[in-house]
Amino acid sequence: MLDFFRRNRVLVASAGLLLLSLLLSVGARGGRRDPVAGVVLELMRPLQLAVTGAVDAATGLWRSYIALVGVTRENELLRRRIRELEQQLVHGAEMQLAEQRLDQLLRFRSTFAGDSIAAQIIGRDPLPWSRTVTINKGANDGIGKNAAVLSNQGVVGQTIANSSNAARVLLITDHNSGVDAIIQRSRAHGIVKGALDGGCVMKYLDREASVETGDLVVTSGLDGIFPKGIVIGEVTEVNPGTRGLLKEAEIRPSAPLAQLEEVLIVTRPAVEEMQ
């Protein structure tokens, strides 16, 4: 018996680890917290921050280089001067854009009560079938789990894990996401879930509810996470369905989730904004 285990120790270890993985999955579905995830997130945060910074710098340099293509060798000195100016311009433009974005975030922040904090996106999901991002603020900044994450253009998602100085955000386009929502015009109620094409689907709409293409979808505030009245997106198609009492609508998110660089996290929602 012992000899069998010794001869097949790799296979026995693999079988044990396969079982452990399944148990972890079942435990995770049961809502058990993963203690290692926070530590790993925290350890990787400075590295992710550094790489993202380096990529941004490299992109800036590349843009500067492209802008200078075509200038002749005879004008080397002039070209150097132009490069310096170009870099300053790119830097200035980046600063101006960042300032504009932050200013928009601040103005958006003042539209609802409660506490919120701005954060930078430092990493994206490594797998194509789930949609999460990592931000550079965590428990030390008052960010817990299930905090609403917004941009000035609309709802972004909610935090699902945090460490001291970083947190992971589940985007509204992920299939695990769900946001309680209403159609702004008709006040029809439903749940906005992530679809696999990068958009969202509003489910559980009453079959008789008035929903039209172009209708604006906003948060209802009923889920206790998102403040009431924040824009989620716009109805692009209504699927009446052939059976049952319910129908669904396809939603295009208002926030440009793939291009976002800064977000706002609601650390303490105002009680009156929650239903």
Partner 1 sequence: MRAAILLALVTIPALLLQTTILPLIAIGNATPDLLLIICVYLGLHLHSIAGAVGAFALGYLQDTFSGGTIGLNAFAMCLVFTVVYLTSRRLWVDNAVSKIVVVFLASLLKTTVILMLVALFVSVKGLGQSMLGYLIPEALLAAVFTPAVFALLARTQVLTVTEEE
Judged by the rule CB under 8 A, the positions of this chain that interact with partner 1 are 9-11, 13-15, 17-18, 20-29, 34, 36-37, 40-41, 44, 47-48, 51-52, 55, 122-132, 134, 160, 168, 170-171, 174-176, 195-197
Q: Is the Cβ of residue 48 or residue 236 nearer to partner 1 in the bound state?
A: 48
Q: How far is the CB of 172 from partner 1 (least distance, A)?
A: 12
Q: How far is the CB of 252 from partner 1 (least distance, A)?
A: 17
- Rounded-to-10 torsion of CA 94, 96, 101, 107: 170
Q: Is the dihedral of CA 193, 159, 156, 206 positive or negative?
A: positive
**Half-sphere exposure of residue 234, counting CA atoms within 13 Å on the CB side?**
7
**What does the block give as tokens for 41?**
């997130």
Whichever of 55 and 98 has its CB closer to partner 1, that residue is 55
Q: How near is the Cβ of 175 to partner 1 at its closest, in Å?
A: 5
Least distance from partner 1 to the Cβ atom of residue 27, Å:
8
CA–CA separation, 101 and 106 (whole Å)? 9
Residue number, 131 or 137, with CB nearest to partner 1: 131
- The DSSP annotation for 208-273 comes to TS---TT-EEEE-STTSSSPTT-EEEEEEEEE--SSSSEEEEEEEESS-TTT--EEEEEEEE-GGG
Q: Please identify, using beta-carbon distances, which residue of 11 and 106 lies nearer to partner 1.
A: 11
What is the rounded end-to-end Cα distance, in angstroms, of the chain?
Answer: 63
Q: How far apart are CB 246 and partner 1 at their closest, in Å?
A: 14
Q: Which is nearer to partner 1, 3 or 197 (CB)?
A: 197
Comparison of 81 and 124: residue with beta carbon closer to partner 1: 124
How many H helices and E strands in the chain?
4, 12
Q: How many residues does the chain have?
A: 275
- Distance, in Å, from the CA atom of 73 to the CA atom of 275, rounded to the nearest integer, reads 67
Minimum distance between the CB of residue 264 and partner 1, rounded to whole angstroms?
20
Cα 155 off chain centre by: 9
